[in-house]
Amino acid sequence: MIRKEVYAMEAQAVLPALADDLFLSEIHLAGTHDSATAFCNLRRIAQCQALSVAQQLRAGVRLLDLRLVLKGGRFFLVHSRADCFTDETRTRRLLFGDVLALCLQFLEAHPRETLVLSVKSDRGKEPADFFPVFYERFIRPDPGRWFLENRVPRLAECRGKLVLLRRCGRPQSFETREKCGLDFSNWPDQGARRRTEPVHIRLSERTSADIQDRYRLPPAVKWQRAAKPFLDCAAPGENRICLHFLSTCGRPRIPARTAVPVNAAFAAYPLRTDRAQGWFLLDFMDGALCEKIMLSNLRLYPVQTPEVSP
């Protein structure tokens, strides 16, 4: 337990110590896949995290993958057919407002941090009003808490803010079309079982992303033919984001089991010290993996940091 707290303090010291002029895409961010599934039903096939969102933030996670369904005017956290709950009793459904409150509280306490929120409609056909309702409910009341431009910000521009990574569509007539976040709405499905290469998408005329999310591969194939090759060659920059999904639901199709060999391989993988590699989203993230990712920034961009007490 003591060692876990050390991980958390070290991870939280990283972003505040980095230079303001760094582009967020050139900083290694620890992220979680299906971030809200610590307490869900259909756990054998749907649970992808052991830590709650609050615990993830304390551990050093700075990129949350949030899957939502709009029902009765409310945004519930889901993982496809599975529902997410607030705690282990599974008596109250987890709402986006709950997660947003946690994130804003975190940023109030740590104003030199930033959090990337990936937002996606994840059950059935996406409703046409999904993003307009989301915007009216969570963004319009306080747009200053968000970085909403469709470009990669420098760290100074997004300190103390939520960076919206939008995986949902928006109506062409939507009045705030220039302020709808990083536009990942054309993200193609990567569920093919025989393909291993990442995909390249354009967010705007100037900004693009390379994404490795080959989620149906068996763990060994996922690591050896999809994850590691992209880690080796990824080259993010001021106009390019690289996303590494190390998660997979390939055989045996149980995330708690498929994550073990992939996470072990990543733990042993030496992150580069000469250039950044991107943002990393894992199943069953823990303090040690967060520390590996976040502290690697201090080797990329050496800074003077205060010593952490044991």
**C-alpha of 67 from chain center:** 11
**pLDDT for 176:** 61
**pLDDT for 303:** 81
Q: Please tell me the distance from the alpha carbon of residue 12 to that of residue 23, in angstroms, as a whole number.
A: 18
Residue appearing with tokens 């937002």: 119
Q: Please tell me the distance from the alpha carbon of residue 173 to that of residue 151, in angstroms, as a whole number.
A: 21
DSSP structural state of residue 226: I
Classify the C-alpha dihedral 37-56-75-191 as positive or negative: negative
**pLDDT for 304:** 58
Instruction: Name all domains of the chain by residue range, CATH numbers in brackets.
Output: 2-300 (3.20.20.190)
What are the percentages of helix, strand and coil residues in the chain, rounded to 5? 35, 20, 45
pLDDT tens for each residue of the chain, 310 residues long: 334 444 454 777 899 999 999 999 999 999 999 999 999 999 999 999 999 999 999 999 999 999 999 999 999 999 999 999 999 999 999 999 999 999 999 999 999 999 999 999 999 999 999 999 999 999 999 999 999 999 999 999 999 999 999 999 987 777 666 689 999 999 999 999 999 999 999 999 999 999 999 999 999 999 999 999 999 999 999 999 999 999 998 788 899 999 999 999 999 999 999 999 999 999 999 999 999 999 999 999 998 545 544 4
Q: Report how far apart, in Å, the C-alpha atoms of 35 and of each of 31, 47, 96, 102 are.
A: 8, 9, 12, 13
Spatial neighbors of 233 by CB under 8 A, at least 6 apart, are none
**pLDDT for 170:** 86
What does pTM read for this prediction?
0.94
Q: Report how far apart, in Å, the C-alpha atoms of 1 and of each of 11, 35, 88 are.
A: 16, 22, 20
**pLDDT for 177:** 60
